[in-house]
Structure formats: C-alpha cells, structure tokens
Structure 1
Amino acid sequence: MILTEGLTKHYGAFPALSKVSMEVRRGEVYGLLGPNGSGKTTTIRLLLGLLRPTSGSASVDGFDCWRHSLEVRRRISYIPGEVRLPGSVRGYQLLQYLNNLRGGAGMDRAVALAERVMGLDLRRKVRTFSTGMKQKLALAQAFADPVDILILDEPTSALDPSARNDVLRLVTDARTQGQTVIFSGHVLTEVEQVADRVAIMRRGRLMHVEDMHERRRNLRLLLVRFQGAPPAALPEELELSVRDRNGEVLLLEHRGAAGPLLGWLASQPVADLAIGTEDLRALYDRYHGPNPEPDPEDR
C-alpha cells in the first residue's frame, strides 16, 4: 500500500531523511518510532506530497506521492502532531465542513464518534475546547473519513488515559475494517499494543523494522543460574545468544522452538531459571538507549 525507495530529503546541507526504503502492507498497523528529529514527520510529509524528495521515491497505492499528490491525499486521512482548528465555528459545523470536502459520506459516523466515544458537546464553539478536546474532534473526523489509509502523528499526546484507550480501540477497529494505519508516537506501550510491525528511526535513517507478532511468538529471555561455571559454548542449533554474563548467571536471548531448548536445559546443571519476554522498550533502547548500536555506515 505504501512504498518508499531510497527516500531522501535535504534542507541545504542538512540531511533530514537519508535513503529510507520501507514497505507498509495493506491492512496493517505500522508503528513509526523515534525521538524528535529522527525523521518521522519528514517521512509523513513526503508521503502526503507536501514535500518534494531530494532523491528517491514514495508511492501510495501505486500513485507517486509528489507527482500524483491529489490522488494520494484522497486515500489518506491525516492527524498532525499539533492540531490547529478554526475557533469561530461550532464543533458540529467544523465536522460538517470537513466532511463536505470528501462528499459528506462520513458525517453520521463523525458525529457519533465525537459525541458518544469522545464525549464532546458539538454545540460549543471550537475556541472553548481544551487542547485535548480539539484533538478528540480531529480524531473523530479522521476515523470517520472513508479512506484506505490513516496517518496518525502522535494522536494521543494531548489525551487523558481513558481517551487514549478509546483511540487504540479505534485503531484496532480500523485494521479490522481493512484500513492501513501508520501510527507515529512516543508512548511505546501504545505502539506495542496495536502495531503489527514497528520501524525505528534515528537521525533521518531507518534503523530497524520488527514484526511484533513474530517477536511475541519467538523471542524469549532466559535468566539462568548454573551450578558452577556456565557452559563455555552454546549449541548453535538452539538460536541462543548471550545478552549478559555475571559469574554463574547468564541472561540469554532465544529465538526458535521451545522443545529443543527445554531438552538442552534439562541436560545442564541448572540451579535456577526464569523465562520471560521482552517489551518494546528494550528494542527501542538498542538504537536510542545509553549504548546505542552504530549506524550501518559507521560500522
């Protein structure tokens, strides 16, 4: 549904985005992660056809994002990181105006989402809304739009915990209905909850893409305390790697079938064992933590 190849954007000598190649599949939630300045918003603006790439290309549903930007935007509903709405109109009037831009097809759903899910009084003028209420109004419109793609740039940043949960449910519903969602955010637990895959960006580069379903199924962390010294070598066929070593204790990462792993552990002098999973924070910290992995070009 969305494809970029070598997508690059320079502002003078400054590389805001460098050779980003990614593919977002139809009907998936694609999490876009990284701190401010990592290139997330530049990527989104290039996808929307609001910026012209310095080099490379981006396409949405087969349409080039720069040369066919109107066709691209017909297929996308976009929530920016900072929502700015005209304050002189009432909430209902603003929804009506935005819906008329797309032929009015989503008006009933937009009103239902705004009133019943977001708890807004649409008779009030937008200028009387708090920042969070304006965010809710924009989200109601975005989820009501009859489009194939939702691009949500930090959609929960101004919301209370209850409204955040409502948004995550709406993202899940959108995927169920076949929509493609790009979810850019800083709250890793939210992205982890809804994303099918996540992409981690740093300084304008795409550093890593992870399939979250595969990660939940296949990645295990084992904290093993041995009776005596740990084994000098680990069987290669078990797909085990050492994360940390402290005397008789090893922190192991395992990717693979559980049966062979358990058989090997049963043959070892194990004094104590804990098996768990790893959250998204640990993966994120590999690229943005105290000791991040180097850029590929710096290795």
Structure 2
Amino acid sequence: MDRPPLIVSDGLTKAYGPIHALRDLSMEVRQGEVYGLLGPNGSGKTTTIRLWLGLMKPTRGRASIFGLDCWRGGLQVRRLVSYLPGELRMPGSMSGLGVLKFLSGLRDGEGLDRAAAIAEKVMRLDLRRKVRKYSTGMKQKLALAQAFADPVDVLILDEPTSALDPSARVDVMNLIREAKALGQTVVFSGHVLSEIEAVCDRVAILRRGRLVHVEDMHARRRLRMLLVRFAGDSPPPFPEELGLSIRKPEGAALLLEHRGELGPLLRWLATVPVEDLAIGTEDLHSLYNEYHGPDAVDEEEDFTR
C-alpha cells in the first residue's frame, strides 16, 4: 500500500513520574487504511489515542495528523477527526435525536441526517426515547452513529464494539468497510482479534506501553500453514521459488509456512513422497500470543525508567 502517512508518531512518550504509560512510540498510519491497535488493558492504546487528539501533553516526542502537531494544534486536529472515546458520557435528559442534533451542531449541523439514518436503520434505535432509558449498548450505538456520520477524513475509535451484541458488532465492521470505501482513514483499538483480523490493513501490537510489532494483514492473509508428513527419513529439498520455510517439527511431520502462489506448491507436492498433508491458514491469535501469551518474554523487564 503506497500511500502517504497521515498520522505520524515520533518517539511519542507519556510518563507519570517513574511510570511510562507509553514509551518511544514511532509509527505511521497511512491515508485511507484501516489500522488496528491491539493489546490488553494497560498496553498503551488509549494513551496513544489521547496523545494523537491533543488531549494530553506528551512527556517527550511528538505526533502529527495532516502535518499538524497534535499538542500545539490540538484544536485544529480535533476539528478534522471524529473520535469515539472508550468511556461515554451522555446527557440522560436529552432524547437520542437531541444528542445527535447537539453533536452535529458542533460541526454546523453537517452529518445529522446521516447520523439519524445510521442510528435508526443500522443500529435500530428509537431516537425519541430519552438517553437515560438507553442501555449501555444503545448509548454506544448512538455514539457510533454520530462518529460514522461526521464529515471528516479520519475516524479514531477507542474500543468501538465494547458493550455491543454480536449482530451490532457485525454492523460496526460493515460501517468501517464503508468508511474505507469512501476514502476515510480508520484507526480503532480493541480486544476482539477476529474483528481486527477481518477489516484491518495493518495491526500494531502494544505491550506495556511499547510498540512490539506491526503486522501487514494483507500479507498475513496470504500465509498458508502446511502440516506435512513426508515418506522417508528426511524431507525433500524445498525449491527456493516456492517460498516454503519450516516453522517447527510436529512429531513425525513438519509445520511449514508458505507465502507463494498455490499452483506451483501443489505441483511440487505431487512430485514428492507425501504420506499425509493438511493445508490451512493461521489466525491472529498465534501472533498475538507471541507477545501476550503465557510464554511471552519482555525484552526489557524494567518499564519504570
């Protein structure tokens, strides 16, 4: 994806005394992509988002959106971005439509018709009801309707599917796809790996305030896993052009990675002594577990300095 960077972080750090909530974050989000921030609570996702929006001053480093410094030009940045916070606060005395009118009014009323349409037709909300009578999930749906309706080029959504039922989660993923089709850039954080895997172009994995890995999801979707048991004492040599590599032994079989075209692989397999074969894909769980599973190891144990 050869697109210009839209959000840029350079050594972005936020410390509270000796504790680092975020440390030396350097990354870029490209224009028009869907970018996922992945990690458990306390990994730095929300801190990153708040620094991007100019809601907090970085301890050191800088971030920019559209070339605007996120701290010094925070007001301008927030005008250009639609933000869904992870913790919502809404006036309970207002109706659902009243909340949408108020929020749209901050942008001169633009997006109100679309927000109401998303809320009623996609999220299936009764906008005449008072917000105090909405459940937590219904409030989340109302805020999402406004976020996706805002006339902006960038959407930053902090855990957008929290508190939602499974069907509403599907609706949100479809709205993200629609936003991308319109040319918008979408950044969202979350815990549900299947959602991030389904819609993201790239995924950043954070661990204890550090960026530990960025994964190109298009390349990952082309990755095949082969569990092969060859006849004989040793496997045949792999032609270099196939793009095969050994992940690890699995008993008498081998677990192989394949990133090339399927046709040449199948033709080669037909010429070698294969006793058993299974071909599948690898989901995001295995990659996530490398950094957050029970066997994950910190490269640096002391995160307080």
Above 0.5 in TM-score? yes
Tell me whether 1:186 sits opposite 2:173 in the alignment.
no
Structure 1 runs not aligned, ≥5 long: none
Indicate if the aligned counterparts of 1:230 and 1:250 stay in contact, CA closer than 8 A: no
Q: Distance in 1 between matches of 2:36 and 2:90?
A: 26
Which residue of 1 is the match for residue 82 of structure 2?
77
Tell me whether 1:249 sits opposite 2:253 in the alignment.
yes
Deviation per residue, 1:81-106 (Å, 9 max, x gap): 12121111111111111111111011
Q: Distance in 2 between matches of 1:200 and 1:283?
A: 9
Tell me whether 1:274 sits opposite 2:278 in the alignment.
yes
Q: Distance in 1 between matches of 2:127 and 2:264?
A: 60
Tell me whether 1:67 sits opposite 2:88 in the alignment.
no
Specify the code of the residue in structure 2 equivalent to 1:241: S
Q: Distance in 2 between matches of 1:223 and 1:293?
A: 27
Instruction: Spell out the pairing of 1:145-224 with structure 2 (5 A cutoff).
Output: 145-217=150-222, 219-224=223-228
1:242 CA displacement: 2.5
TM-score for both structures, normalised by structure 1: 0.94
Which residue of 1 is the match for residue 230 of structure 2?
226
Question: Over aligned residue pairs, what C-alpha RMSD do you find?
Answer: 1.9
Q: Distance in 1 between matches of 2:261 and 2:123?
A: 44
Q: Distance in 2 between matches of 1:256 and 1:116?
A: 43
Q: Distance in 2 between matches of 1:247 and 1:177?
A: 49
Tell me whether 1:91 sits opposite 2:96 in the alignment.
yes
Which residue of 1 is the match for residue 288 of structure 2?
284
Tell me whether 1:54 sits opposite 2:59 in the alignment.
yes
Q: Distance in 2 between matches of 1:292 and 1:201?
A: 13
Indicate if the aligned counterparts of 1:227 and 1:248 stay in contact, CA closer than 8 A: no
Which residue of 2 is the match for residue 40 of structure 1?
45
TM-score for both structures, normalised by structure 2: 0.92
Aligned residue pairs: how many? 297
Describe the shift of the 1:192–1:246 C-alpha distance in structure 2 as closer, same or farther (beyond 3 A).
closer
Which residue of 2 is the match for residue 28 of structure 1?
33
The percentage of aligned residue pairs carrying the same residue is: 68
Indicate the SS of the match to 1:82.
coil
Structure 2 runs not aligned, ≥5 long: 1-5
Describe the shift of the 1:296–1:256 C-alpha distance in structure 2 as closer, same or farther (beyond 3 A).
farther
Indicate if the aligned counterparts of 1:5 and 1:20 stay in contact, CA closer than 8 A: yes
Shifted more, 229-238 versus 33-42: the winner is 229-238
1:211 CA displacement: 1.2
Indicate the SS of the match to 2:126.
coil
1:15 CA displacement: 1.1
Indicate if the aligned counterparts of 2:236 and 2:272 stay in contact, CA closer than 8 A: no
